[in-house]
Amino acid sequence: MSQPKVVLITGASRGIGKAIAIKFAEHGYQTVITGRNVDLLKETASKIESVGKLPAKVIAAELRDTHDISRLIGGTLQQFGKIDVLINNAGVLHIKPFLEITSDELTEMIDTNFMAVFQLTQRIVPEMLKQKSGTIVNIASLAGKYGFQGGSGYAATKFALRGFAQSLMLELRPHDIRVLSVFPGSVNTDMLDDNPIATNAKTALAPEDVAHAVFAVVSADSRATISELDIRPSNPKKG
């Protein structure tokens, strides 16, 4: 009997990350979920156990801390011996006029939205090279393609993530490792409340919409890399 594939999802305590974890569990994946809030992670794990065949492994971690990154990867490999899919979902958002954003807010976004992704991926790629396979999914944002008012800091981190993913995809293709980026528009999560110019909650995407798309691109035949996928609300003016 073949071993189930192992998927590691960051930012899985709520919103998009939680929905992605549940979707993969429904399809028989062994899920490893991480985030900073252990109580919310346990809620995600409970939901996974109600829909999936395999219990989730919960590893609370602060991804801006390299020691926590090491502990997260070590705990996953010790129990399961591999990481087939990495989903970089964790992110933070501060929307303010350019002259009002603070150094601490900018640093938090850079460290969470880009540096943590870079460092976590850099630690996992050697394992995928040993396996001669793997899939890396970055949950970006349409803000990583199109700037918006008040988003000078946030959009900069998402543009950086896109450049990172495009370059890494070219580097890892010869090793049968896929790098995919998903660019959602407005999604009805906690972040929507922090975005004064976002689509209203009635017409925004649901986290499950993004989860469905992520699973679809990961499930494509290994010969196919859907390197970028945009997801928008169908009719943002409806309602």
Active site residues: 154
Separation between Cα atoms, residue 138 and residue 90, nearest integer Å = 9
* 8 A C-beta contact, residue 60 and residue 36: yes
CA 27 to chain CA mean position, Å: 18
Separation between Cα atoms, residue 144 and residue 11, nearest integer Å = 18
DSSP state of 95: -
Chain length of the chain: 239
Chain position carrying tokens 């999914």: 137
Q: Spell out the residues 6+ positions from residue 64 whose beta carbon is closer than 8 angstroms to its own.
A: 111, 112, 115, 116
Two tokens, residue 56: 């989730």
Separation between Cα atoms, residue 24 and residue 51, nearest integer Å = 10
Greatest extent of the chain over all pairs of C-alpha atoms, in Å: 59
